[in-house]
Amino acid sequence: MTSITNICVFISGGGTNLQSLIDGEKNGEFAGKIKLVISNKKDAYGLVRAEKAGIKNIWERDNGKILKILKDENIDLIVLAGYLKILPPSIIREYENKIINIHPSLIPSFCGKGYYGLIVHQKALERGVKITGATSHFVNGETDGGPIIFQETVKVLEDDSPEILQKRVLEIEHKVLVKSVKYFCLEKLKVENKKVKILKE
């Protein structure tokens, strides 16, 4: 019997990725419990989503206070769901291979410093790629540079605008993120030489 994983989700915006995790927990899609939502933006709609779901949620920017709260809440897994602030080394060290990020492209394309939100899709369309997608990965000290967990592709269509493409990719992000959390809770994600092995048993 896998014990329940205590999860903290970090957000900065609308929180549709957070919502996919709230719904996933409710539907029993993973053996985890979202105990806390932290936003660096006071007006993030994701805080409203957390409130509606009865999940403790705070607006906090001080990394020292954040680290203390994570420990007080016995958090086992951090999920960055559209969190636009860089995590400090203190948190990354404390939660090595226990921080999952979702990125709206097929890393290593269209990622790294300055690649977030709509910009990612604008660049993909400018480059004329035929497929893009979503990537979940563990967070290390390098922006979007941690070990890749799962990826899923999305076809780019001739008449796509950045907004339309973002919407299609966002749906895949939700799927990839819930699957990544599920596998983490099942302890099926093993990091070896900076690569993630998906344990079968």
Binding site for ligand GRF (CB under 6 A): 11, 13-18, 46, 81-82, 102, 104, 117, 170, 173
Q: Which residue's beta carbon is nearest to the bound ligand GRF?
A: 82
**From the CB of 177, what's the least distance to ligand GRF, in Å?**
8
Q: In this structure, are strands 32-39 and 57-59 parallel, antiparallel, or unpaired?
A: parallel
Q: How would you classify residue 112: left for phi > 0, otherwise alpha for psi between -120 and 50, otherwise beta? A: left
Report in angstroms how near the CB of residue 39 gets to ligand GRF at its nearest.
10
CB of 101 to ligand GRF, least distance (A): 8
Instruction: Report, in Å, the least distance between residue 174 CB and ligand GRF.
Output: 8
Nearest approach in angstroms of CB 73 to ligand GRF is: 21
C-beta of 119 vs 199, nearer to ligand GRF: 119
* Secondary structure (3-state) at 142: coil
Of 48 and 199, which has the nearer Cβ to ligand GRF? 48
Residue for token digits 């599920």? 182
Closer to ligand GRF by Cβ: residue 90 or 161: 161
Closest alpha carbon to 176 in 75, 83, 100? 100
Q: 144-148: list long-range contacts, CB under 8 Å, 24+ apart.
A: 144/101, 144/103, 144/107, 144/108, 144/111, 144/112, 144/115, 145/112, 146/99, 146/101, 147/97, 147/191, 147/194, 147/195, 147/196, 148/107, 148/195, 148/196
Residue of 103, 121, 137, 174 marked active site? 103
CA distance 111 to 145: 9
- CA atoms in the 13 A half-sphere facing the CB of 78: 27
Asked if 121 is an active-site residue, the reply is no
Q: How far apart are CA 124 and CA 77, in angstroms?
A: 31
In the bound state with ligand GRF, the residue whose beta carbon lies nearer, of 52 and 93, is 52
Residue 19 or residue 140: which is nearer to ligand GRF going by CB? 19
Catalytically active residues, by annotation: 103
